[in-house]
DNA sequence: GTAATAGTGTCTGTGAGACATTATGGC
DNA sequence: GCCATAATGTCTCACAGACACTATTAC
């Protein structure tokens, strides 16, 4: 414990004499909710636990924070280990999107003892099925959010629910929906992200007008893409530099459950 | 470390043999950004550090998380110790408002070693000056957000900045502005919260119309309050049950610095 | 009476919802 | 030709911004 008379020392002397391990310490993990869209459904990347506790149950990719790395770095590292995708923080134009979600630390959330989890949420483009193969040895796979049920280990079900609410709210005012699609993309594909995340239909013409009116949301490539089965060619776009949608795209009132399509 | 062959045990056997302390652990603190409004300015509750490190610098009230308490409980406890105010979580009709903000865990943010901080933000009513006297022995006081400068210990300046952005954004779509005023209050007082938090003028008539049109934002008491120096008596209100303002009250575009009035 | 503040009524402009129409391809 | 999809144009309605006007008090 710090001595009561530490005021009489210099700061250097204090630090030399200080032992932080006298304080209660806990294990800290970083868990990442990797969200994507596959076949018109919002999916989350999960691993099947190969060890106790919760052997055989689903869990979020994650792990303990190394002594010398920041929380953000740990999240990026875990994401890379599980998906093989290089991430950059908070809206870099490369890689994928990842940001801190919330911290979960109820005593008893982990039967092994006091472990608090700093949760992150990541948005990655429609996965080619072999994306998970780029990860580590654990069997990572995508599962749809509608059949989560009670199959999660720890409190990971609550963490996923918080991530879903985050993405549903955030695409209203931020341009992050672009991280769910591969470049180049059509306006219809981008609209599909909103429809899947919200579980509601979005008016096609009004959506296109809004996206094009938002400076820097998307940038036209000049190329077009031919819809399968005929139809007028659709213009192709890339993600633009804008971070904020002003005014926002309001989400229609939904009566869905939080895990519904 | 967990044994590689732990699959062969039962879960109970595994847990009995398990020692979490084999994993790297860190110290975890909870720091609370207590915001209020005093004399038309947004103020934050700070304590002056009486110990190394950062002796004499300003810091947020906070402390280590006890082994058996949740993060939320720790934040409520710290708030009560510093302000004497009993808090309830996330929009209870009693006490004050407090919610988790974000977690700060860069290595090197604390010279004593690896310490991560789970930050909370609380909104409390206009403090009577003796509020801090209800706190513990440390000299807690309110300081205006416009002269924060470099006087904060650790990374607490960044934590405060995040809290300010949280409140500026949150009063747009949530009814939390009511937690900054004492009941009963007038619409003009509630409008003053928005003006102070945003650092921008809000149109009085349009604001009153919007608040009254939002079911459950405020509830009229039937009483009135006489403005000093004359004027029509203002109706008095209490906080209503609604949590969300739908559609939101949009914040006017501001060019201010994040710490400006 | 005047000044000050609160509350009511109304016009207007922006922007989203809805839908008709045109454009461009496969078949 | 028909069908499917994308893009364009336009009408309407909700709602916020602005402002005129009325109401109630202190002085």
Could you report the per-residue pLDDT of B169-201, keeping only the tens digit for each?
A: 999 999 999 999 999 999 999 999 999 999 999
3-state secondary structure of B25: strand
Where in B124-225 does DSSP place strands (E)?
140-144, 218-225
Mean predicted confidence (pLDDT) in A97-103: 96
CB count within 10 Å of CB B37 equals: 23
Q: Measured between CA atoms, how close is A96 to chain B, in angstroms?
A: 21
Helix pair B187-198, B204-213: axis angle to 10 deg: 110
Dump strand ranges (E) for chain B: 25-38, 41-48, 58-59, 62-64, 97-104, 115-123, 140-144, 218-225, 234-239
A140-165 average pLDDT score: 88
* B235 in contact with chain A, both atoms CB, cutoff 8 A: no
CA of A236 to C1' of C25 (A): 16
Q: Which residues 32-61 of chain A have a CB within 8 Å of chain B?
A: 50-53, 55
Q: How far is A71 from chain B (nearest CA, A)?
A: 6
pLDDT on residue A70: 95
**C1' of D7 to CA of A168 (Å):** 28
Phi/psi at A205 (5° precision): -65, -45
Helices and strands in chain B: count of H runs, count of E runs: 5, 9
B114 vs B135, more confident = B114
- Tokens 């003006």 map to which residue? B195
Task: Please check the confidence at residue A172 and state whether its pLDDT lies above 90.
Answer: yes
A136 has a pLDDT exceeding 80: no
Q: How far is CA B104 from CA A133, A206, B60, B111, in A?
A: 32, 40, 13, 14
Average pLDDT, chain A: 85
Identify the residue with better confidence: A83 or A100.
Answer: A100
- Asked if A234 and A225 touch (Cβ cutoff 8 Å), the reply is yes
User: How do residues A231-240 score in pLDDT, each as one tens digit?
Assistant: 899 999 999 9
**Alpha-carbon gap, residue B169 to B252, rounded angstroms:** 11
| pLDDT in the model for residue A138 | 58
Interface probe with A: pick from B105, B154, B158, most Cβ of A within 10 Å: B105
Cβ distance of A52 and B2 shorter than 8 Å:
yes
Select from A100, A123, A96, A128 the least CA-distant residue to A36. Answer: A123
Q: Looking at residue B88, what is its pLDDT? A: 61
- Identify the residue whose Cα has the smallest distance to the C1' of D6: A232
B210 touches strand D (CB under 7 A): yes
Please determine, for residue A81, whether its predicted confidence score (pLDDT) is greater than 80: yes
Report the percentage of chain B scoring pLDDT > 90: 61
Give the residue-averaged pLDDT of B224-246.
Answer: 92
Nearest to A61, CA basis, from A146, A125, A154, A172: A154
């Amino acid at each position: 414990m710090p001595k009561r008379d530490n005021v009489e020392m210099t700061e250097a002397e204090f630090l030399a004499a200080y032992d932080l391990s006298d304080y209660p310490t806990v294990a800290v993990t970083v868990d990442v909710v990797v969200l994507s869209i596959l076949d018109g459904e919002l999916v989350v990347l999960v691993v099947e636990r190969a060890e106790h506790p919760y052997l055989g149950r689903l869990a979020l990719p994650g792990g303990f924070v190394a002594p010398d790395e920041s929380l953000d770095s740990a999240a990026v590292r875990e994401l890379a280990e599980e998906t093989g995708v290089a991430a950059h923080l908070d809206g870099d134009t490369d890689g994928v999107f990842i940001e801190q979600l919330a911290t979960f630390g109820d005593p008893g959330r982990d039967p092994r003892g006091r472990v608090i989890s700093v949760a992150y949420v990541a948005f990655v483009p429609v996965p080619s099925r072999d994306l998970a193969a780029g990860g580590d040895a654990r069997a990572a796979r995508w599962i749809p959010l509608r059949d989560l049920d009670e199959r999660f280990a720890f409190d990971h079900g609550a963490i996923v629910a918080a991530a879903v609410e985050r993405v549903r709210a955030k695409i209203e005012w931020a341009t992050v929906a672009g991280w769910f699609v591969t470049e180049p993309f059509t306006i219809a594909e981008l609209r599909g992200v909103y429809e899947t995340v919200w579980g509601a239909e979005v008016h096609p013409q009004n959506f296109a007008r809004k996206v094009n009116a938002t400076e820097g949301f998307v940038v036209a490539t000049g190329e077009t893409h031919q819809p399968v089965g005929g139809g007028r060619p659709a213009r192709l776009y890339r993600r633009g530099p804008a971070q904020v949608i002003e005014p926002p795209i309001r989400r229609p009132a939904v009566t869905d459950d939080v895990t519904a399509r």
